[in-house]
Chain A
Amino acid sequence: MSNTVRFWLMVLPGTVFLVVFLLLPLIAIVVFSFWRTESYTLIQDWNLDNYATIFSHSAYLTFLARALVMATCVSLVCLAYAWPVAYFIVRYGGRYRLILLLSTAAPFLTGEILRVAALQQILGPIGVVNMALTRFGFDPIEALMYSNMATGTGLVYLWLPFMVLAIYLSLLNFDFALLDVAKITGAGPLRAFVEVTLPLNRAGTAIGIVLVFIPTLASATTSQFLGGPDGALYGNILARQFGSTGTWALGSAMGVVLFLASALALVIVWRAVGDLRRSGIVIKGAPKP
């Protein structure tokens, strides 16, 4: 009896959170996505028109594809950048580890808009980089101004700390002495990394990728400020449905599509991780094969 009570006491907060903040909104947008909007009001009139619109107009899918490509590139760049940073902090950070880690999150102290605005000051046509180039008689770098490159840079800057954090936490649990074994048995540094370090931190790395990929897929603010007229991503179009055009039902359908795309990405990453035992993760009480 008391065990049941304890069970529910422990389960309840998480359940309430999930229901209120995840399940209810999700149900709401799924429901709305099958409705209709007319002059800024939702009308309960069950139909599939919103989905038909999304899948018949190539514009929507193009924006989704752009967002997917952007999210993939941003994740890969973050990955390549975060690994050495996290590795260095864990291996050589000593007692300054935590400070070093927190300092990678320093940009978060300023809030999102300010962060993007700051990047504008650096990358934009009158930003520091191009001003300096013009000043010294060079041509400004077009790619830095209101382009996908600028958006990508901004997104990497925005989400990098999450990737660093995920890999950092994973490496904290990694026994570096295992590298001694690899070295003695004849593995050079690269081989040891591929055979030992990477597999044992695969799950943590996957979490980092998910933490970067999914928000990037949905992002709107960064591309709005840095992407320029042709830099809109799926998130910008989606936001427009709830803003200027007021087509909430269509926006909801777009949201559902985004949710499914994110879920699919999650499944793919999870599949790529595969058998958790191959990542050195012990599942207590798991049946032996």
Chain B
Amino acid sequence: MSDCMLRLQSVTKRFGTTMAAESVSLEVGQTELFALLGPSGSGKTTLLRIIAGLDAPDEGRVLIGGRDVTRLPPYRRGIGMVFQDFLLFPHKTVAENIAFPLKMQGKSRAETADDLKWVSQLVRLTGLEERYPHELSGGQKQRVALARGLVSRPSLLLLDEPLANLDRELRKRMEVEIRRFQLELGIPFIYVTHNQEEALTMASRMAVMREGCLEQIGDKLALYHRPATAFVAAFLGSPNTFEGDVVGVEDGRAEIAWHGHRFWSRAHDGLAPGLRAVCYVKSEKIAFASSGAALAGRLRDTIFKGQYADYLVCLDDGHEITVSAAPDLCHRPGEAVGITWAADDGDAFPAVGKE
């Protein structure tokens, strides 16, 4: 990457026997909003702390703007961070908390006041400036933490689940604002979340993390539509899972036999005829078909979700498949339906562990 701002080179961090980060290599560009997605305990916070310099990696190097900062203390790195557990200063008012980075930078009173006003409006904290943190709700605390991270205009901003405690309305608005702010500043944001919707909305590129390893890094659409590992395929979206036997592999496709049905899907490394395979198909990629359907069944239930609905289809042999589609399809419970999907919409991986 030519405009690489942050580079991690095989960063490893152990806590006792836990591998919190295992040989993580990563590059983030100058103007990128990079999302780090992963389940709880996968090492996201650990990675941010290593980038920030709060923890030293056991192995590997951290480079910011081409400079090796692995041994540099946090206060020399010029990084901003929004902490997952807020960490507001209890003895300072909201205004003082937000202005703290400015104070450390030695900004003038006028500049501080301007920045403070601007950021309070941005995160909608106007009117709460004189309160102490214990007088705030969880969401308000989170907004103060976010404001404190944004206001410092760092060369790199790390955000650890900055919107987790906000209501949907505010979250949607903040997502847009953070994205806009990032473009305006022209600095990279590393955005940690376990909410994939948030990651997919905001990020340009993203990585999925699992047990300290980066499973896949890349364009968010690539990760979503072309998962490279079974974990990523299962983690993103809400896929249906089919575990069956590989009948044949050709041209990067595999034919899977699953409970007497046969279908094709994209084949990933390690598949060979005779092996067990797990195939993931995202529920919105499955469509109802009146003729030429791959599978037939009856509609058991419809779960209305607002912009779409989940249709639970019970196959004749008792297996249940979820189909996400427009909410106004006039299928009734009990109605016979056929479903189908394109071969490229399935991703088959060798099944591991369970034989």
Residue with the highest number of chain A CB atoms closer than 10 Å, among B83, B85, B104, B134: B104
Flag whether A186 is at the interface (Cβ < 8 A): yes
- Nearest chain B CB to A88 CB, angstrom units: 20
A185 and B90 alpha carbons, distance in the complex (Å): 16
Interface of B is mostly: loop
- Please determine whether B54 and A184 come into contact, CB atoms closer than 8 angstroms: yes
Flag whether A196 is at the interface (Cβ < 8 A): yes
With A185-B100, A185-B104, A289-B130 as contacts: A180 and B91 at CB distance below 8 Å: no
With A180-B54, A186-B75 as contacts: A278 and B104 at CB distance below 8 Å: no
- Nearest chain B CB to A252 CB, angstrom units: 43
The residue from B53, B85, B135, B152 contacting A288, defined by CB atoms under 8 A apart: B135
Residues from chain B with Cβ under 8 Å of A212 in the complex: none
9 A-B contact pairs sorted by A residue (CB < 8 Å): A175-B87, A177-B85, A183-B54, A185-B75, A185-B104, A187-B75, A187-B104, A196-B89, A278-B91
- Give how many B residues have a beta carbon under 8 Å from the other chain's beta carbons: 28
Bitwise interface map of B from 74 to 92 toward A, beta carbon under 8 Å scored 1, else 0: 1101111101010101110
- Please determine whether A280 and B75 come into contact, CB atoms closer than 8 angstroms: no
- Nearest chain B CB to A285 CB, angstrom units: 12
A278 and B91 alpha carbons, distance in the complex (Å): 4
Flag whether B105 is at the interface (Cβ < 8 A): yes
Query: Apart from A180-B83, A187-B104, A279-B91, what are 20 other A-B pairs with CB-CB below 8 Å?
Result: A177-B83, A177-B85, A177-B87, A181-B89, A182-B104, A183-B53, A184-B54, A184-B74, A184-B77, A185-B104, A185-B148, A185-B152, A186-B75, A186-B105, A188-B75, A195-B100, A280-B89, A280-B90, A280-B91, A282-B132
Nearest A residue to B100, CB-CB:
A185
Residues from chain A with Cβ under 8 Å of B52 in the complex: 184
Bitwise interface map of B from 136 to 151 toward A, beta carbon under 8 Å scored 1, else 0: 0000000000001000
A183 and B54 alpha carbons, distance in the complex (Å): 8
- Please determine whether A181 and B75 come into contact, CB atoms closer than 8 angstroms: no
Flag whether A191 is at the interface (Cβ < 8 A): yes
A180 and B104 alpha carbons, distance in the complex (Å): 14
A288 and B79 alpha carbons, distance in the complex (Å): 35
A54 and B75 alpha carbons, distance in the complex (Å): 57
Bitwise interface map of A from 188 to 217 toward B, beta carbon under 8 Å scored 1, else 0: 100100011001100000000000000000
A50 and B80 alpha carbons, distance in the complex (Å): 67
The residue from B77, B134, B148 contacting A282, defined by CB atoms under 8 A apart: B134
- Nearest chain B CB to A136 CB, angstrom units: 45
Flag whether B101 is at the interface (Cβ < 8 A): yes
A181 and B79 alpha carbons, distance in the complex (Å): 11
Flag whether A277 is at the interface (Cβ < 8 A): yes
- Please determine whether A183 and B87 come into contact, CB atoms closer than 8 angstroms: no
Flag whether A178 is at the interface (Cβ < 8 A): yes
Flag whether B252 is at the interface (Cβ < 8 A): no
Residues from chain A with Cβ under 8 Å of B218 in the complex: none
Residues from chain B with Cβ under 8 Å of A182 in the complex: 100, 104
A278 and B85 alpha carbons, distance in the complex (Å): 21
Nearest B residue to A283, CB-CB:
B134
- Please determine whether A185 and B101 come into contact, CB atoms closer than 8 angstroms: yes
CB neighbors of A among B93-139 (8 A): 100-101, 104-105, 130-132, 134-135
The residue from A183, A196, A199, A279 contacting B74, defined by CB atoms under 8 A apart: A183
With A183-B74, A185-B104, A185-B152 as contacts: A178 and B54 at CB distance below 8 Å: no
- Please determine whether A200 and B91 come into contact, CB atoms closer than 8 angstroms: yes
Flag whether B73 is at the interface (Cβ < 8 A): yes
The residue from B80, B90, B105, B135 contacting A184, defined by CB atoms under 8 A apart: B80
The residue from B74, B90, B101, B105 contacting A180, defined by CB atoms under 8 A apart: B74
A188 and B105 alpha carbons, distance in the complex (Å): 11
CB neighbors of A among B23-44 (8 A): none
A73 and B130 alpha carbons, distance in the complex (Å): 38
The residue from A177, A178, A191, A282 contacting B104, defined by CB atoms under 8 A apart: A191
- Please determine whether A181 and B83 come into contact, CB atoms closer than 8 angstroms: yes
Which A-B residue pairs are the 5 nearest by beta carbons? A280-B90, A280-B91, A185-B101, A186-B104, A183-B74
- Nearest chain B CB to A103 CB, angstrom units: 29
- Nearest chain A CB to B104 CB, angstrom units: 4
Residues from chain B with Cβ under 8 Å of A278 in the complex: 91
With A277-B132, A289-B130 as contacts: A184 and B91 at CB distance below 8 Å: no
A235 and B188 alpha carbons, distance in the complex (Å): 67
A280 and B75 alpha carbons, distance in the complex (Å): 24
